[in-house]
Chains A and B, each alone.
Chain A
Amino acid sequence: MALLQVKSMTHFFGGLRAVHNYDLEIEPGQVRGLIGPNGAGKTTIFNLITGIYQPTEGEIIFNGQNLVGLHPHQIAAQGVCRTFQTLRLWRHMTVLDHVKLARYSKIHYGLIGAFFGTGQRHREEAASEKMAYDLLEMMGIRNLADQVVINLPYGVQRRVEMARALASEPQLLFLDEPTAGMNPEELVEMMEVIRRVRDEFELTIFLIEHRMRVVMELCEIIQTLDFGEVIAEGTPEEIRSNPRVIDAYLGKEGIV
């Protein structure tokens, strides 16, 4: 059974049709890619599935449960987590606090624990701190745990965001341009990180990317979007040779 199933999803911004009749089926363990020119509606699709926007029409089914109408935090707690195209970190908080806070839905000590510091709270906070340190270790930024994020270099901030997303224990991870703004070295490292987290956490990954190298190397199946509609879906080889994709997005070699 598919982990995530989106059926004929359509979304309007006022009179503008941003997404039209979008279908998607992701099997567990897959790495899927979503490509397309700027303004094609890629990030809108992420925002629709993660609950930031409500689709005008259509169904989103995750693990057999309909996600339409749920709040973003409920969807995230179900196991659909994401990163953002423009880093959305909490500027005044430390790296450790970022990762710990993503475990919000796993915290059960409630307000009594928060106000009075009960034993249950100390146990839960200690457990989530340990997990946060493990994740930071894995991302190679454990030594920066007490730093405030705005002081850190861009590549490190990307890793913080990844660690934060993983801390919520997702089954399905959405990556919105994970290598945007990175230099070639950071890019290779990030691809390595993505492969590692997929293997270690048995994650299913859905990613938006503009760099063809990343998409072609990482993804098993790629969707191409243009003006809010899927114009092609297939393996990297199929996409690379698809005339519609070349026309809308990749461009003809002869022209460049």
Chain B
Amino acid sequence: MEMRGSTVPPAEAAASAGRQNTLRAKIRSQLAPIPLLGWLFGTLVAMVIEQAVGHSLALAFGLSGVPGLFGLRIMLTKRALIPSSLAYVLLVYILPTLVVARLSAPLANRVAKQLLDRFPLWVSLIVHLGLFYATMHLWGGNAYRVLFLKFILISIILTLSLNLVNGYMGEFSCSHPGFMALGAYSASVLTVLLFVNDDVFGAPLLPPALGPFLFPLTLIAGGLVASVGALVVAIPSFRTRGDYLAIISLAFMFIVKSLIENLEIIGGPRGFMNQPKWANLPTVFAWMAICVWMIYNFTRSTIGKAMCAVRDDETAAEAMTVNTRRTKMVTFLFAAFWAGVAGGLFAHVIGYINPSTFGVYKLSEILAMVYLGGLNSVVGSIAGAAGLQLLMEVLRPLQLFKWIVIPVLLIVLMIRRPMGLIAFTEVNIKDLLQPRQVPGKER
């Protein structure tokens, strides 16, 4: 180790390093026995506190209101408010979470153990998901935060499904915005035609009261239309491997976009509106959860692992009885289906779509999320989607400079970690939900 200040004797430096180590070890030993359930308790309490006293506390700190995104945006625009936003975050989010998580750890461990021992895995999973959703729901107290959360959830669906093709299967597909557009327009046309009194499509064909119940079916229909579009790309491009898919899928994206621009009946370049805003937070969250669950299942099955074999050595995969053509088709169509569902949700979040949304800009956003989060990893995709969405939102006050800062960050990341943040790492759901034993206190 290099010694800069010769005034510090080595022994003392070592002691201070030792103190730091023991401090870190202490923190770690304090946090180690907290299971996931305990953390969820903690964040939930933090959100309740924000609901109760957040507003008055923010005013007392001299903030104009409850900070939207953990005070991050305020810190970028008004430097004078940095201390008070930090204090707010510390008092409202970090401290209550830590304290409650630590104090509830024994209880949380017991509950987590009971849940896993007495019931099948999915019961425990639903409990965790429910708590997580409750936290999210409480945090999403205003329209801005709700919209932000919905965009994150939709991005997770898009990123994860593209990771199947680009990460797990090792192809390079560029047509995700195209599939998203197909899903968005198909689902929108269906809901407007069936349930809305519209200038173009006329009176609703079905009673509008049925709409919210049949909404999932229209989303699935949108996903299926996207899958049919994927078939058009897949048939010519999966005869061989290499750059063909990238080129054909990029072309497909532009074809879809210009097709929509030239279809007057769905608004052409002006866009398509009047979708009922049925994609509320619970709906979007449920679709995201189903998507993650299905893709997680798929990637862990032998049929899904065939994707990785195709990526690493296709000839060997064929020789080991793997039907590589079927594998590629299924993966690509499955990914396109989810892109279509995400598109349908997106349309019913905003209530308006236009073809220019589904262009190269969207493509670069999804690709950045996939490669930032990490190839071949479900957790990586979730982290990548949430991380980049947060980053883009937080850096919005920088305006034009945002488009310099984000690419530079991505370039640095690609140099430091070429595979992305959490590549080739899988988290086993069961391990995640396990109770944590306190070291040294076992029985």
Interface residues, chain A, CB within 8 Å of chain B? 50-52, 71-73, 76-77, 81-82, 84, 88-93, 97, 100-105, 107, 109-111, 113-117, 121, 125, 128, 164-165, 168
- Alpha-carbon distance A87/B10, docked complex (angstroms): 52
Q: Select which of B316, B323, B424 is within 8 A of A92 by beta carbon.
A: B424
| Docked pose: A141 CA to B316 CA in angstroms | 21
Q: Can you identify 13 A-B contacts, CB atoms within 8 angstroms?
A: A51-B318, A72-B315, A73-B321, A81-B320, A90-B316, A92-B308, A92-B312, A101-B302, A104-B321, A104-B322, A105-B321, A111-B303, A115-B298
- Known: A92-B312, A93-B309, A97-B308; 6 extra A-B contacts, CB below 8 A, are A73-B324, A77-B321, A81-B320, A90-B312, A91-B313, A101-B309
- B224 interface hit (Cβ, 8 Å): no
B424 engages A114 (CB within 8 Å): no
* Chain B, range 30-47, C-beta contacts under 8 Å to A: none
Distance (whole angstroms) from the CB of B231 to the closest CB of chain A:
15
Which of B294, B309, B320 contacts A115 (CB under 8 A)?
B294
Residues of B near any A CB (own CB < 8 A)? 294, 297-298, 301-306, 308-309, 311-313, 315-325, 330, 376, 424
Roughly how many angstroms separate A93 CA and B320 CA in the complex, as a whole number? Answer: 14
The chain B residue sitting closest to A50, CB to CB, is: B319
Interface SS of chain B: helix, strand, loop or mixed? helix
Q: How far is the CA of A51 from the CA of B320 in the complex (A)?
A: 12
CB distance from B429 to the nearest CB of A (A): 11
A104 with B306: CB separation less than 8 A:
yes
A102 lies within 8 A of B321 (CB): yes
Query: 5 closest Cβ contacts across the A-B interface?
Result: A90-B312, A88-B316, A105-B321, A72-B318, A114-B301
Are A90 and B313 touching (Cβ within 8 A)?
A: yes
Question: What is the CB-to-nearest-CB distance from B164 to chain A, in angstroms, rounded to a whole number?
Answer: 12
How close is B123's CB to chain A, nearest CB, in angstroms?
A: 15
CA distance A91 to B298 in the complex (A): 20
Report yes or no: B319 in contact with A72, Cβ–Cβ below 8 A.
yes
Contacts of B321 in A (CB 8 A): 73, 76-77, 81, 102-105, 168
Cβ distance A125 to chain B, nearest Cβ, rounded Å: 7
Given known pairs A73-B321, A101-B309, the reply for A107 and B302 (CB within 8 Å) is yes
Q: Min CB distance, B342 to chain A, in Å?
A: 17
Our pick among B304, B309, B323 for the contact of A90 (Cβ within 8 Å) is B309
Complex formed: what's the CA distance from A107 to B318 in Å? Answer: 15
- When C-beta atoms are compared, the residue in chain B nearest to A79 turns out to be B321
Partner of B301, one of A92, A125, A168: A125
Docked-complex contact B297 and A88, CB < 8 angstroms: no
Q: Give the residue among B309, B316, B318 with the most A Cβ atoms within 10 A.
A: B316
Q: How far is the CA of A25 from the CA of B303 in the complex (A)?
A: 35
Chain B residues whose C-beta falls within 8 Å of the C-beta of A81 in the assembled complex: 319-321
Q: Pick from A89, A114, A115 the residue with the most CB of B within 10 Å.
A: A114
Chain A residues whose C-beta falls within 8 Å of the C-beta of B376 in the assembled complex: 92
- Evaluate contact between B313 and A88: CB separation under 8 angstroms: yes
Q: Chain A nearest CB: distance from B356 CB in Å? A: 34
Residue of B nearest to A161 (CB): B316
CA distance A102 to B325 in the complex (A): 16
User: B320 to A102, Cβ gap below 8 A?
Assistant: yes
Q: Does A114 contact B312, Cβ atoms closer than 8 Å? A: no
Complexed CA–CA distance, A244 and B376 (Å): 54
Residues of B within 8 A of A111 (CB): 303, 330
User: Closest B-chain residue to A170, C-beta based?
Assistant: B321
CB pair A114–B297 under 8 Å, yes or no, is yes
Q: Is the CB of B313 within 8 A of A89?
A: yes
Rounded to whole Å, the gap between the CB of B136 and the closest CB of chain A is: 25
Task: Write out the residue numbers on chain B whose beta carbons fall within 8 Å of the beta carbon of A89.
Answer: 312-313, 316
A101 surroundings in chain B (CB, below 8 A): 302, 305-306, 309, 317, 320, 322
Q: Which residues of A sit under 8 angstroms from B306, Cβ to Cβ?
A: 101, 104
Within the assembled complex, what's the spacing in Å between the Cα atoms of A103 and B301? Answer: 12
Q: Which residues of B contact A105 (CB under 8 A)?
A: 321
Partner of A76, one of B298, B303, B305, B320: B320
Closest to B316 in A: A88
A125 to B320, CA, bound (A): 17
Report chain B residues within 8 Å CB of A117.
297, 301
| CB pair B305 A93 closer than 8 Å | yes
Closest to A72 in B: B318
Please name all residues of chain A whose beta carbon is closer than 8 Å to the beta carbon of B323 when the two chains form the complex: 71, 73, 104
Q: Which residue of B lies closest to A88 (CB)?
A: B316
Cβ of B322: which chain A residues have Cβ within 8 Å of it?
A: 73, 101, 104
Q: Is the CB of B319 within 8 A of A76?
A: yes
Q: Is the CB of B297 within 8 A of A76?
A: no
| Chain A residues near B324 (CB-CB < 8 A) | 73
Asked whether, in the complex, the Cβ of A100 is within 8 Å of the Cβ of B301, the reply is: no
- CB closest residue in chain A, given B326: A73
Decide: A88 and B298 in contact? CB cutoff 8 A. no
In the assembly, what is the distance between CA of A114 and CA of B298, in Å? 5
Most buried by A among B315, B316, B320: B320
Q: Return the chain A residue nearest B302 by Cβ.
A: A107
Contacts of A104 on B, CB cut-off 8 Å?
302-303, 306, 320-323
Contacts of A50 in B (CB 8 A): 319
